[in-house]
């Protein structure tokens, strides 16, 4: 009986193969300018749901792992296309007396882990491959942060990924209500970045750091920009595209303008790059509307309203009407965010410059808002005299001045 040679390898060979794979998995990162990653990080910092659009195999999941590591939080990945609506709406659990206690909807394990931890990154993959019923169930998760009877913590960030319907297996266009709840970012690849990554070095995710000292001024500047723009372009407050593909991406609505406001405020407070901020804003309100907004912002150049309130005599009113309106809205928003008598009186000193410049109508709305903030114990400042008739007509002041 001839002896057969024993196969070489076994567990030892597998251990060596695992060591080889571990060696190939060891990579490093380096700082690099990447507006795509920066826009994603900005939207996550602003806690706005993000939807990444890209072809299969382009690295969306790997980007999420890198982002979660940079944030120092756990990552919960959920492949939406293989789940049922009940996986997001919750499964009914019947208790001893449903007529008295009701029937709670039990959440899945990933939602329980996020709630227990208190923070994390929730990643819904293959969203465009999920049928409409699953997309409808996801609406509540994205909008209300509810999974069954469980409320996800406010600090949980939500990111989703989708393949274009043309390249997705059984792909669907996103429903307009679901699409309108995301910042849409196109996820593409740079061949040079991939080539360098194969050599062991990938770009680093730079997480925008919000400067606490800039929070008040940044919020007020953002309010001035968005409110001023929509005052000038009221037709862009809500404009849903007619074609199905457009309705499944970014388009302007009051909801997405609120998202743009938060993105812009976070960008100002964190000193985000211009290209990353532009990418995030167009991802919220759509490309055409976003381009108009960016053009408006480029020629606006608003000063920090907190600096203006600290020394109102040192600042001149902008010359253009659209800049004047945005400037005054920002100043009033800054007063409202930190309301004190000195700041309130400084606000009137700023509005008085509009009267001196011969454009009291531009300051009318800002004056009414500022008057409504007055504490009963505060005396009426001299700067309000030019607005008395207007404020009386608006009901902001009693008759007789």
Q: What is the mean pLDDT of residues 115-127?
A: 92
Confidence category of residue 99, pLDDT binned at 50, 70, 90: low
Res 401: pLDDT: 43
What are phi and psi for residue 92, nearest 5 degrees?
-65, 135
C-beta neighbour count of 104 within 10 angstroms: 16
- For the cut 80, the answer to whether the pLDDT of residue 383 exceeds it is no
C-beta neighbour count of 73 within 10 angstroms: 18
- For domain 28-203, the CATH superfamily is P-loop containing nucleotide triphosphate hydrolases (3.40.50.300)
Cβ atoms of 223 and 261 within 8 Å: the answer is: yes
- For the cut 60, the answer to whether the pLDDT of residue 393 exceeds it is no
- For the cut 60, the answer to whether the pLDDT of residue 9 exceeds it is no
Tell me which range, 83-92, 203-212, 280-289, is most confidently predicted by mean pLDDT: 280-289
Res 30: pLDDT: 83
- For the cut 80, the answer to whether the pLDDT of residue 382 exceeds it is no
pLDDT in tens, 244-272: 888 989 999 999 999 999 999 999 999 99
pLDDT in tens, 123-161: 999 888 888 888 888 888 998 999 988 999 999 999 999
Confidence category of residue 400, pLDDT binned at 50, 70, 90: very low
Domain segments of the chain: what residues?
A: 28-203, 305-394
What pTM value is reported for the model? 0.84
- How far is residue 16's CA from residue 93's CA, in Å, rounded to a whole number? 48
């Amino acid at each position: 009986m001839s002896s057969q040679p024993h196969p070489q390898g076994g567990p030892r060979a597998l251990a060596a193969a695992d060591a080889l794979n571990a060696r190939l998995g060891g990579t490093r990162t380096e700082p690099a300018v990447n507006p795509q990653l920066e826009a994603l990080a900005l939207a996550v910092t602003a806690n706005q749901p993000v939807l990444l659009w890209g072809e299969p195999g382009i690295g969306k999941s790997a980007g999420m792992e890198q982002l979660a590591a940079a944030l120092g939080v756990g990552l919960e990945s959920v492949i939406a296309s293989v789940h049922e609506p009940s996986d997001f709406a919750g499964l009914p659990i019947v208790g001893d007396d449903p007529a008295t206690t009701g029937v709670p909807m039990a959440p899945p394990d990933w939602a329980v882990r996020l709630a227990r931890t208190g923070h994390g990154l929730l990643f819904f993959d293959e969203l465009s491959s999920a049928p409409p019923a699953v997309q409808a169930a996801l609406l509540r998760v994205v909008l209300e942060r509810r999974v069954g009877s469980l409320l996800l913590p406010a600090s949980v960030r939500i990111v989703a990924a989708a393949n274009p319907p043309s390249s997705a297996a059984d792909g669907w266009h996103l429903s307009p209500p679901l699409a309108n709840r995301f910042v849409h970012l196109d996820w593409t690849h740079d061949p040079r970045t991939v080539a360098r990554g194969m050599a062991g070095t990938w770009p680093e995710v730079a997480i925008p750091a919000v400067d606490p000292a800039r929070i008040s001024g940044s919020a007020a500047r953002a309010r001035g920009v968005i409110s001023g723009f929509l005052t000038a372009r009221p037709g862009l407050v809500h404009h849903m595209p007619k074609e199905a593909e457009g309705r499944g991406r970014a388009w302007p609505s009051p909801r997405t303008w609120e998202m743009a406001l938060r993105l812009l405020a976070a960008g100002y407070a964190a000193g985000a790059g211009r290209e990353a901020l532009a990418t995030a804003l167009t991802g919220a309100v759509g490309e055409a509307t976003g381009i108009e907004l960016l053009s408006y912002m480029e020629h606006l150049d608003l000063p920090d309203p907190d600096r203006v309130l600290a020394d109102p005599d040192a600042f001149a009113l902008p010359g253009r009407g659209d800049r004047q309106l945005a400037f005054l809205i920002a100043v009033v928003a800054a007063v409202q965010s930190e309301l004190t008598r000195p700041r309130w009186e400084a606000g009137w000193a700023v509005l008085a410059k509009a009267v001196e410049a011969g454009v009291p109508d531009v300051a009318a709305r800002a004056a009414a808002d500022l008057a409504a903030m007055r504490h009963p114990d505060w005396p009426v400042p001299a700067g309000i005299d030019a607005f008395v008739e207007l404020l009386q007509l608006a009901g902001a002041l009693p008759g007789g001045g």
